[in-house]
Amino acid sequence: MTVTGTDFDLRRVAGRIGAEVVGVDLRENLDDDTIASIRAALLEYKALFFRGQKLDDTGQQRFAARFGELTTAHPTVPSLDGSPNVLRVDSAEGRANNWHTDVTFVVSPPSASTLRSIVVPPYGGDTLIANSAAAYRDLPGELRELADRIWAEHTNDYDYAIPPADSEKTKAFREIFVSRKYRTAHPVVRVHPETGERGLFIGGFAQRIVDLSTTESRDILRLLQAYVTRPENTVRWRWAPGDLAFFDNRITQHYAVDDYGDLPRLLHRVTVAGGVPVGADGRRSYTIEGDDASHYTPLAA
């Protein structure tokens, strides 16, 4: 699949995932053809990067909304004041140095995430994004067959984004993060609703395999996750202020590298609502504990 007939250039950033989109000003009112080309590029490259944009919160929300209805900021974390769709990703409150896919603990996780850099440290703080379809293809046949059959429980109630022990602010953030508890069963292999591609749909919120013990679950998840995080399956983005990253949350995981000490880092996140995942056998994800998160996503099951 190649994106053609557009006014922008696509430059691969890494071999298996990620392209920089050059020649688009996201403040402009982009026509439908351009949006369709960006969507096609997202499906192919899975993560797109727009350097040096001059977007504000309104502009970020407007751009994301071209790809579908938006979620609110988060199922449990309050939005930025006055911008119900914007989540502050602030290093002072927590560090997502844990491979994950956004909000997979609800039954309808977002289809895509946009991250806009506002304050970036002079060094470090990169974001890694992994191609979970490439990981699936890398699995030996026997493991692929196992993965196709098993399901995982995802929850927000675990030690994600561990706060530094002495930080009251991060402790308070963690309390808010788990103020409502969610547990959802998703297929370990998700069929992408637009491309039909299969990808490993696990990541940090996946805490156990349905019907297996904690120990067995850990070992299997660690084994599968090792394929997702192979360097060959990742791209690494070095932020500059004003960048926008746009990634397909249905077939990627990401990780915020925590290597910048106490330096400030602030990004704003806006996510596009997504549907209920479907596994290789056609079964849909289901809720085990918690509400349907309809306060969060317009596509609640």
Binding site for Fe ion (CB under 5 A): 102
Closer residue to Fe ion (CB): 14 or 245: 245
Q: Minimum distance between the CB of residue 255 and Fe ion, rounded to whole angstroms?
A: 8
Closer residue to Fe ion (CB): 68 or 204: 204
191, two tokens: 């069929």
User: Could you tell me how far CA 54 lies from the centroid of its own chain?
Assistant: 23
Task: Using alpha carbons, select from 17, 176, 203 the residue that is nearest to residue 90.
Answer: 176
Closer residue to Fe ion (CB): 24 or 206: 206
222, two tokens: 């660690």
Contact 257, 128 (CB under 8 A): yes
Q: Minimum distance between the CB of residue 102 and Fe ion, rounded to whole angstroms?
A: 5
Query: What positions carry a catalytic annotation?
Result: 100, 102, 254, 269
Please give the Cα distance from 281 to 191 (Å, whole number): 9
Q: Minimum distance between the CB of residue 211 and Fe ion, rounded to whole angstroms?
A: 28
* Number of neighbours of residue 176 by Cβ within 10 angstroms: 13
* 20-44 residues labelled b (16+ CB within 10 A) or e (exposed): bbeebebeeebeeebeebbbbbbbb
User: Could you tell me how far CA 196 lies from the centroid of its own chain?
Assistant: 19
With CB atoms as reference, the residue minimizing the distance to Fe ion is 102
Residues 6+ apart with CB under 8 A from 66: 30, 35
Q: Minimum distance between the CB of residue 254 and Fe ion, rounded to whole angstroms?
A: 6
Closer residue to Fe ion (CB): 102 or 248: 102
Q: Minimum distance between the CB of residue 100 and Fe ion, rounded to whole angstroms?
A: 6
